Amino acid sequence: MSLFQCAIRLAQLGAQVHLHRIMPQAQSSVRVAQARDGTLTYLVDAAPEALPPVRSRDLEAAWDAARAAATLSEWGTPRMFRFRQADGSTTDLALSDQDARCWAGAVDQTTGMQTPYGLSLCLRLLALVDLLARAPWTGVLCRIGRAGAALDPLLVRTAATAPLTNQAGFDEAAFRAKLACIAAPAPAGLPLSGATA
């Protein structure tokens, strides 16, 4: 009997049943090691651009968890990533920035980063924060208020599905083009032509 069939049977018998969200996990291609100083190293058998897209709702939940962790000054531990490229070479990335460590820690606490999906979720969150900081045209898609920053659903959907670069970020022009394809019609006042504002 599968887990799902078992849950249905328990529900039929009147039991309270809650199925936790299960992430698709074939063979995990992420190994994690912890150094004596607490630094976590992720050995990933794929390039960042080969990591899967994520669900928009998961990215939005990661954004909220990261904001809550930052509010509580939960700065997290340093993290390092070694990605294996298709040609056998490696790409190394390090999260030493306090804010990036905080946000990665929040994702690790809520979703986990031991799977390609969880790692993709974390990297997409960090890539989105980076894009918001360096691309002025994103300002209309992120509203800042007393409760924090609220992201436009189109922005979240694009970040959830846009390809990552080999440096685990978003290519601004490609991201903007994908956003324009998803937005139909484009939000008023937002030039999505690919030219920077």
With bands split at pLDDT 50, 70 and 90, how would you rate the model's confidence at 184? Answer: low
Q: Count the Cβ atoms, other than its own, within 10 Å of residue 42.
A: 20
pLDDT at 146 over 70: no
For the ranges 18-27, 43-52, 89-98, 148-157, the lowest mean pLDDT is seen at: 18-27
Q: Is-contact 79 43, C-beta < 8 A? A: no
**pLDDT score recorded for residue 154:** 87
With bands split at pLDDT 50, 70 and 90, how would you rate the model's confidence at 83? Answer: very high
For the ranges 12-16, 146-150, 177-181, 189-193, the lowest mean pLDDT is seen at: 12-16
Task: Considering only residues 18 and 126, tell me which one the structure prediction assigns the higher pLDDT.
Answer: 126
In a domain, 16, yes or no: no
pTM score: 0.74
pLDDT at 20 over 60: no
In a domain, 187, yes or no: no
Average pLDDT, the chain: 78
In a domain, 18, yes or no: no
Q: What total of structural domains would you count in the chain?
A: 1
- State the residue range of the domain holding 88: 25-182
Mean pLDDT of 52-70: 90
**pLDDT score recorded for residue 73:** 82
At 158-169, the pLDDT tens digits run 999 999 999 999
Task: Considering only residues 109 and 5, tell me which one the structure prediction assigns the higher pLDDT.
Answer: 109
